[in-house]
Each structure stands twice: as structure tokens, then as C-alpha cells.
Amino acid sequence: MTTLIKEINDKLADSFEEIVSWRRYMHQHPELSFKEEKTALYIREKLVSFGLEVETNIGGGHGLIGILRGAQPGKTIALRADFDALPIEDEKDVPYKSQNPGVMHACGHDGHTAALLGTAKVLNEFRDQLKGNVVFIFQPAEETPPGGAKFMVEAGVLDGVDYVFGAHLDSQTAVGKVTTGSGYQMAAVDKFTIKIQGKGGHGARPHESIDSIVIGSEIVGALQKVVSRRVDPLKSAVVTIGVFQAGSAFNVIADKAVLEGTVRTFNADVRKQVEEQIRSIVAGITAAFGAAAEIDYLNGYPALYNHPRETETVRQWFMEEFSSENVMEMEPSMGAEDFSYFLLEKPGTYFRVGSQNEDAATHFPHHHPKFDIDERALLNIGRSFVKIVSNYLL
């Protein structure tokens, strides 16, 4: 099998320039979440040209899959890439800079998609040796809740799948290295909006008003104590207020205020507890001041849980592929990722592939307007997927 894997990887390496060209085309033509119509068509054209079965418009959106059926029966492995971009102006000075003003692939999704396309093309050339099937999942709208994964899962994209795997480029890790980790690795993400209705008035006569800014300030302060005084200190949680809007003049007491924030948790019980505490605090403080409040609370992506058995198995395979010193332990993050929906349905794991080199241009964090990658990382995603598929299906 080692010889065959080498042959597949050699084919992958031969396709490097083509894979890079796909990534750069998508980088030049990014589309926002739920609007990826042209990108989906581009992916479909490639999959059809490879000779794969293709299903489109999965989940009522732009999701699509390519299906590779091996010559012999066996397991079915799903591999996933996302392909939406972000509302960010591309500030790089490169030939493949975004041509869509205010829209940019600032998180590497173009790279994920190009790498998975390359994997699909090469593995299809070895279908006669495969004992089983591969489902290549191309998912839209990872960046914007409710996301694309949820709808694809509900549409049955994982029906008949035995294991599911996903990769993400990592600009904080050197190219050539990969990171894996068991258990909870990314947080559940919730969003809330609090609308406070007080009573406006003259800044010189506060006793005749119900000051929404004072009430909002009390709420902000109280919410900081949810994690420090209500949540078990051995269980992680974050409550952040990102928006506080109120007032229109220096001498007017504002009658309305709007707060927006996010909650990040790993544990489902803690997630529920924090929501209950937020609702209780808001109700109590506004009632004490004689004001009213309305809360819009959105439960976003669930926490991402890497199945220990599959994660440890993949870790060992990656040590064979990249050497033990290049396989690192993943550090859990309070960021969110809707690949979690796939892992709620099927066993598998989500790993990161280093994309940073000595050039400072590759050091910018994800979601930065100058984000870029060492494109050799695209081959490493492909090699990772090939290693996984080969160990299950060859």
C-alpha cells in the first residue's frame, strides 16, 4: 500500500500548479455566505470534468458533493471543504487579489476547496483500487450562522457515510506541520441582542427619565460576572459585549439602548446555564429601574467535538506521512466552526494544516485584510486526505 500511496501523492504533486490556479481563481472571485452561486458552478464544472457523480443545490442552497465509487465494496469516507468568503477588503498587493470590492477569502476557504478538488481529481484516477466510496463535500456559508453544514446534514449528505473528516489551513503554524486534538476543540457560538426601552428626557432632569444608558451599563457589568461567579471554573465560557448603541446628543437622556454580544462554551449544560443567567440578569436590572427589555437570543453552531478514536488513528497516520515531529497537538479555541454539525452525526475529526513560512505575508491571522498562505499547504491538505482515504479504502 505504501507504494500506491506514493504513486497517488506523486500525482497530487504533479497537479500542484493546477490546484494553485484553482485557488487563485477563487481568491480573485470571492462570494459571501449564501451567495456563492458562481463558486458552486465553478466547483461543479471541475467535478464533472473529473468524471465524478455530482449532486448540487443540497439543503436548498449552494452546497454540492462529488461522489467517487470505488471498484470494490467497502467503507464510505466523507471529506469536506468550505467555500464562502468574508466581507473584508483585500489589501494584498498580489496578482490574484480579490476583484470583488469589499469581499475577500480571508480565512483560506479557497485553499480548502482547491485542495479538495485536487484530492478528488487524483483519487478518481485510482478508483479501480478503491474498496469503498469517497464523498467530497463542498459546503457554503461556514462564516455566517445558521451556516451551510446544518442544512446539508439535514438534507442527508451523510447518509451511508461511515466517517467524516475536515481540514483547515492555519496561518499560525509552519507549513509542513499539522495539528490534531481529541475532544472539544472549538466552542459553541451564540449571539444575543438586548433592546432596552427606558424613558428619554433632558440631561438636566434625570429624575424624570429612565436612563437606558445607565441600565445598559449595569447590564454590561453584571454580565461579566456570569463566567467568574456562576460558571464552574473548570468549565470554559466567554461572554463578550461587542456593541453598545444609545443616545444622540450630549444633553439628552436616551430612551433606547441596544447591546449585542456573543457567548462561547464547550459544555452543553454550561451553554444553557449562561443563556438563563443572561435572561435573568437583564430582566432583573430592567425591572429594578422601571424599564422594559427585549432579548433576541440565537443559538449558533454547536461545539466541535473530535471523536477520540478517529482522532488518535489519524494522528498516527499523519506521523507516518509527515513524521512525528511535524504532528502537533491542537490547542482548543473559543472560535466556532460548523463542521461540528457533521461530527454530531458521524465519527471523524477536524484538523489543521500549517500555512505559514518565513515570509511575513503568510503570518497575518485569519480574517485579516492581508491574509495569505504558503500554497504548498494545499498539497499537505491533499496528502492528509489521501492518507486517510488510503488507510480506510486501499
Rounded Cα distance, 211 and 56, in Å: 53
Please answer whether residues 112 and 165 qualify as being in contact, where contact means their C-beta atoms are separated by less than 8 angstroms.
no
Catalytic residue among 31, 36, 84, 310: 84
DSSP code per residue over 51-103: T-EEEEEETTTTEEEEEEE-SEEEEEEEEEEE--BBS------STT--SSTT-
Please answer whether residues 68 and 386 qualify as being in contact, where contact means their C-beta atoms are separated by less than 8 angstroms.
no
Rounded Cα distance, 367 and 281, in Å: 33
On whether both 254 and 113 belong to a single domain, the answer is no
On whether both 18 and 99 belong to a single domain, the answer is yes
Nearest to 387 by CA among 356, 351, 360, 355: 351
On whether both 126 and 162 belong to a single domain, the answer is yes
Catalytic residue among 31, 82, 142, 143: 142
On whether both 198 and 226 belong to a single domain, the answer is yes
Regarding pTM above 0.85, the answer is yes
Catalytic-residue membership of 218: no
On whether both 194 and 161 belong to a single domain, the answer is no
**Extended beta strands in the chain, E state:** 53-58, 63-69, 72-82, 131-139, 163-174, 178-180, 183-186, 188-197, 201-202, 237-246, 252-253, 256-265, 292-299, 304-306, 327-329, 348-356
Please answer whether residues 68 and 126 qualify as being in contact, where contact means their C-beta atoms are separated by less than 8 angstroms.
no
On whether both 170 and 209 belong to a single domain, the answer is no
Domain that holds residue 378: 2-184+303-393
Cell numbers at residue 262, please? 456573543
Nearest to 166 by CA among 359, 346, 360, 374: 346
On whether both 173 and 76 belong to a single domain, the answer is yes
Catalytic-residue membership of 84: yes
Tens digit of pLDDT per residue, the chain (394 long)? Answer: 688 999 999 999 999 999 999 999 999 999 999 999 999 999 999 999 999 999 999 999 999 999 999 999 999 999 999 999 999 999 999 999 999 999 999 999 999 999 999 999 999 999 999 999 999 999 999 999 999 999 999 999 999 999 999 999 999 999 999 999 999 999 999 999 999 999 999 999 999 999 999 999 999 999 999 999 999 999 999 999 999 999 999 999 999 999 999 999 999 999 999 999 999 999 999 999 999 999 999 999 999 999 999 999 999 999 999 999 999 999 999 999 999 999 999 999 999 999 999 999 999 999 999 999 999 999 999 999 999 999 999 9
On whether both 313 and 252 belong to a single domain, the answer is no
Peptide bond into 146 cis (omega under 30): yes
Domain boundary among 299, 332, 359: 299
* Domains of the chain: total: 2
CATH code: domain of residue 118: 3.40.630.10
On whether both 290 and 364 belong to a single domain, the answer is no
Nearest to 30 by CA among 93, 99, 111: 99
Contacts of 277 (CB under 8 A, 6+ apart): 226, 230
Domain boundary among 278, 299, 320: 299
